[in-house]
Amino acid sequence: MSSTFDQVAQIIAETCDIPRDTITPDSHAIDDLGIDSLDFLDIAFAIDKAFGIKLPLEKWTQEVNDGKATTEQYFVLKNLCARIDELVAAKGAGAA
Amino acid sequence: MQLEYFQMIDRILDLNTVEKTIAVEAQVPTTSTVFEGHFPGYPIMPGVLLIESMAQTSGWLLVALMKFERMPFLAAVKEAKMRGFVAPGELLTVEASVVHEGSGYAITEAKVKVGGKLRSNATITFSHVPFPNPDLRGHMDAVARRIGFPSQAIA
């Protein structure tokens, strides 16, 4: 978890030019860090590459738009990292 | 190529959905109102139109990979380099390949060549959505026929 967060925080810092020390597990990517949808594509690309996964951004966005999920579930960094860990685990299970 | 209508691509030369690559041909017109202003006495193809050519080439590759179910829209251009002038009348070969296919977005690398020599290249990001209306889908079908889109490539 901490390693996932460290990687994600570093990606965000480098991609969006946000000071690393302002990024915490409780930061909301949109509300706290001010990351917009276009910048988040760059972040998603970097995360996809770093973790060998495909963040289901469309599904998440649809769920938020439909009121089935909150942005906090996906865009607060500790929650985002948990989702990444799940995707990595699922990928590993699929490959086994 | 009809610059005023943003018709940048004349013909698809090769489309490989396995390798995720495409090559197209684009004949720069000898005359155009664009060249009257860019530049008087020294006409050259505007760099933004070279980028548009690479974006459209990439777009056709993505349309093929998504089997005409979704429409890619230009989202970001990175590392765009204009390495040499393109003059009226020159024949361009534009190539593109997929770098990454994400969820609702894709990234390509594209090149413009003249006589085998690189004139421009860029890394391009697209967001893509289901076709927003039948008119756009119909337009894309018509353009596909005009440029020789190989429908068997997505069968």
pLDDT in tens, B49-81: 999 999 999 999 999 999 999 999 999 999 899
Find the residue in B nearest to A59 (Cα).
B103
> What pLDDT was estimated at residue A21?
95
Upstream peptide bond of B39 is cis (omega within 30 degrees of 0): yes
The chain-wide mean pLDDT, for chain A, equals 93
Partner-chain contact B76 A55, CB within 8 Å: no
> What pLDDT was estimated at residue B154?
79
Q: Which residues of A touch B103 (CB under 8 A)?
A: 44, 54-59
pLDDT tier, B151 (very low <50, low <70, confident <90, very high otherwise): confident
Q: Which residues of B touch A48 (CB under 8 A)?
A: 100, 102
- Whether residue A92 has pLDDT greater than 90: no
Q: Which residues of A touch B125 (CB under 8 A)?
A: 41-42, 45
For residue A44, give both structure tokens. 């998603």
Q: Which residues of B touch A54 (CB under 8 A)?
A: 101-103
H helices present in B83-128, as ranges: none
Rounded distance between C-alpha atoms, residue A52 and residue B26, angstroms: 36
pLDDT in tens, B107-134: 999 999 999 999 999 999 999 999 999 9
Partner-chain contact A57 B127, CB within 8 Å: no
Q: Is A48 on the interface with B (CB under 8 A)?
A: yes
Secondary structure of chain A in the HEC alphabet?
CHHHHHHHHHHHHHHHCCCHHHCCCCCECCCCCCCCHHHHHHHHHHHHHHHCCCCCHHHHHHHHHCCCCCHHHHHEHHHHHHHHHHHHHHHHHHHC
Query: Which member of A41, A49, A59 has the closest CB to residue B105?
Result: A41
> What pLDDT was estimated at residue A1?
47
Q: Å from A52 to nearest chain B CA? A: 11
In this predicted model, which residue has the larger pLDDT, A94 or A54? A54
pLDDT tier, B152 (very low <50, low <70, confident <90, very high otherwise): confident
Residues composing chain B: 155
* Torsion angle in degrees (nearest 10) through CA of B52, B55, B57, B58: 180
Average pLDDT over residues B99-109: 96
pLDDT tier, A2 (very low <50, low <70, confident <90, very high otherwise): low
Beta-carbon contacts of residue A25 (< 8 Å; ≥ 6 apart): A5, A76, A77, A78, A81
Query: Which member of A42, A49, A57 has the closest CB to residue B104?
Result: A57
CA distances, A8 to each of A38, A44, A90 (Å): 17, 10, 19
Partner-chain contact B103 A57, CB within 8 Å: yes
Find the residue in A nearest to B124 (Cα).
A42
- Whether residue B95 has pLDDT greater than 70: yes
Partner-chain contact B105 A56, CB within 8 Å: no
Q: Is A4 in contact with A85 (CB distance < 8 Å)?
A: yes
User: Is residue B139 annotated as part of the catalytic site, yes or no?
Assistant: no
Q: Å from B98 to nearest chain A CA? A: 13
Radius of gyration of chain B (CA): 15
Find the residue in B nearest to A38 (Cα).
B75
Starting at the edge strand found earlier in the chain, the sheet holding B117-130 runs B11-16, B21-27, B91-101, B105-114, B117-130, B70-82
